[in-house]
Amino acid sequence: MDSYQLTDEERELAGMVRDFADEVVAPQAYEADRTKTLSMDVVGQMGEMGLFGLPFPEEYGGQGGDYFALCLAIEALARVDQSIAITLEAGVSLGAMPVFRFGTEEQKQELLPDLMSARALAGFGLTEPEAGSDAGATRTTARLDGDEWVVNGAKQFITNSGTAITRFVTVTAVTGTTDAGGKEISTIIVPNGTPGFTVEPAYDKVGWHASDTHPLTFQDARVPAGNLLGERGRGFANFLHILDEGRIAIAALATGAAEGCLEAAVAYAGQRIVFGEALSTRQSMQFLLARMQQRVHVARLAWHHAARLRDAGKPFKTEAAMAKLTASDAAMDNARDATQVFGGNGFMNEFPVARHYRDSKILEIGEGTNEVQLLVIARALGVA
């Protein structure tokens, strides 16, 4: 099958989520953004639809699908509301996927069913005040004291970490020293409500207002030794693999945002009368809209290719970086152009293009900055 063609089942899934986005997500998006509130009702409905379980086996409560299916859903949601799309993306890629990839069978049986049904959410604590793109600079520590890990440190920009249904966060922490003298970094599951673990007040963000994002602090937070996720000392390496997958999902989200901007701009240009004619009759406007369509198409091809490689078990690191770079650029460029098409209305938050304009910037930063993507691509070329 050609990488850029959809099966009948995939088309059905994309159509179902697109309808849900238009009928359920879009009507509440402006108010959710204005009040900075994540609708747990919408999250619950997505859980009932099986969206959080798309790429996981049925034995853990999943849908038995693949990562491509998840990305189709994320793209369809991001057309109308990036906050809802990132809630799904982070809930799967950063919440459930590390447990599925690296957890013990006991951890999987205990944690995954609730995560896949959206009865619970989870976050992943990697970024710190002094460790962003340089995640190896992690300062958070976890010291083994008898049969407990004692966690100390701070994390920032952690998605899905403070909702009413957040069950735990998985944090990277320095657990010792390697034979070479470097940091031994492991991942530890810290349940919400653990004494010494504080979810700080939510950020006042530029965009993604309805997405749940908090800084976290740990002061002698004690969890059982069995809360180690994966092999000790493999935390950073394991997360890099999770990050590669996540870049495909972010590329799908960015593609959806770029398409949402295009759809809004085409509709508005056809309705807006300027000097007695529809705005869309102007050749300069036609060319601008054509460029927007080009960006959506190329971004979609890029993430489709990377996702197909991933699901086929083939190397995809470089392709994921290229997809994330291409799609996030497309989202920002289309948001800027769509805002210009809307003129003064594009500066009003009640119009979706204004929300996309604010939301899309983070796509060039999160899940690895675009500069990091360029570095990954350059390394693949052998020039970095």
Say which CATH number the domain at 332 has: 1.20.140.10
User: Which 3 state secondary structure label does DSSP give 1?
Assistant: coil
Token couple for 129: 């005040």
CATH number at residue 56: 1.10.540.10
pLDDT band of residue 133 (cuts 50, 70, 90) is low
- Looking at residue 135, its pLDDT comes to 65
Domain assignment present for residue 3? The answer is: no
- Among 174, 201, 233, give the residue marking a domain's end: 233
pLDDT at 237: 85
Mean pLDDT for 304-308 is 97
Query: Among 75, 128, 245, 367, which one carries the catalytic annotation?
Result: 367
**Averaged pLDDT score across all residues of the chain:** 95
Statement to judge: residues 114 and 212 lie in one domain: no
Mean pLDDT of 116-125: 96
CA 384/CA 379 separation, integer angstroms: 5
pLDDT (tens digit, 9 = 90+) per residue, 167-193?
999 999 999 998 888 899 999 999 999
- Residue 181 in any domain: the answer is yes
How far is residue 47's CA from residue 89's CA, in Å, rounded to a whole number?
Answer: 13
Structure tokens at 294: 């080009």
Q: Report in angstroms the alpha-carbon separations of 310 from 124, 165, 183, 314, 371.
A: 21, 30, 29, 6, 22
Q: Is the pLDDT of residue 1 over 50?
A: no
Cα distance between residue 145 and residue 132, in whole Å? 28
Q: Final residue of a domain: which of 91, 119, 147?
A: 119
Q: What is the DSSP code string of 203-246?
A: P--SS-TTS-EEEEEEEEEEEEGGGEESSTT-HHHHHHHHHHHH
The answer, yes or no, to whether residue 2 has pLDDT greater than 60, is no
Q: What is the pLDDT of residues 232-269, one digit of tens each?
A: 999 888 888 888 999 999 999 999 999 999 999 999 99
CATH number at residue 185: 2.40.110.10
**Which residue, among 132, 136, 185, 189, has the nearest Cα to 155 in the 3D structure?**
132
- What are the tokens at 367? 């899940």
CA dihedral (281, 283, 285, 287) positive or negative = positive
Spatial distance between the Cα atoms of 147 and 226, rounded to a whole number of angstroms: 8
Do 357 and 310 belong to one domain?
Answer: yes
CA distance 221 to 232: 19
> Please, what's the b/e burial string for 252-290 (b: 16 or more CB within 10 A of its CB; e: otherwise)?
bbbbbbbbbbbbbbbebbeebeeeeeebbeeeebeebbe
Q: Is the separation of the CB atoms in 371 and 93 below 8 Å?
A: no
**Alpha-carbon span 6 to 31, nearest angstrom:** 34
Number of domains in the chain: 3
Q: What percent of the chain has pLDDT over 70?
A: 98
Among residues 233, 259, 287, the one where a domain terminates is 233
367 as an active site residue: the answer is yes
Task: Evaluate if residue 4 carries a pLDDT over 70.
Answer: no
Q: What range defines the domain where residue 249 resides?
A: 237-381
Task: With H, G, I as helix, E, B as strand and everything else as coil, classify residue 21.
Answer: helix
The more confidently predicted of residues 321 and 243 is 321
Per-residue pLDDT tens digits for 67-104: 999 999 999 999 999 999 999 999 999 999 999 999 99
Q: Which residue has the higher pLDDT, 329 or 131?
A: 329
What pLDDT sits at residue 43?
Answer: 98
Q: How far apart are CA 191 and CA 346, in angstroms?
A: 42
* Any domain includes 1: no
Do 225 and 272 lie in one domain? The reply is no
**113 lies in the same domain as 146:** no
Identify whether residues 101 and 131 lie together within a single domain.
no
Q: Are 172 and 185 in contact (CB under 8 A)?
A: yes
Lowest mean pLDDT among 123-127, 206-210, 305-309: 123-127
Q: What secondary structure does DSSP assign to 49-118, as a single string?
A: HTGGGTTS-GGGT--S--HHHHHHHHHHHHTT-HHHHHHHHHIIIIIIHHHHHH--HHHHHHHHHHHHTT
Q: What is the pLDDT of residue 178?
A: 87
**Which DSSP letter does residue 200 get?**
P
Q: Over pLDDT 90: what percentage of the chain?
A: 89
Longest dimension (CA), the chain: 79
Q: Can you tell me the distance from the alpha carbon of 327 to that of 261, in angstroms, rounded to the nearest whole number? A: 13
Q: Mark whether 200 and 284 lie in a shared domain.
A: no
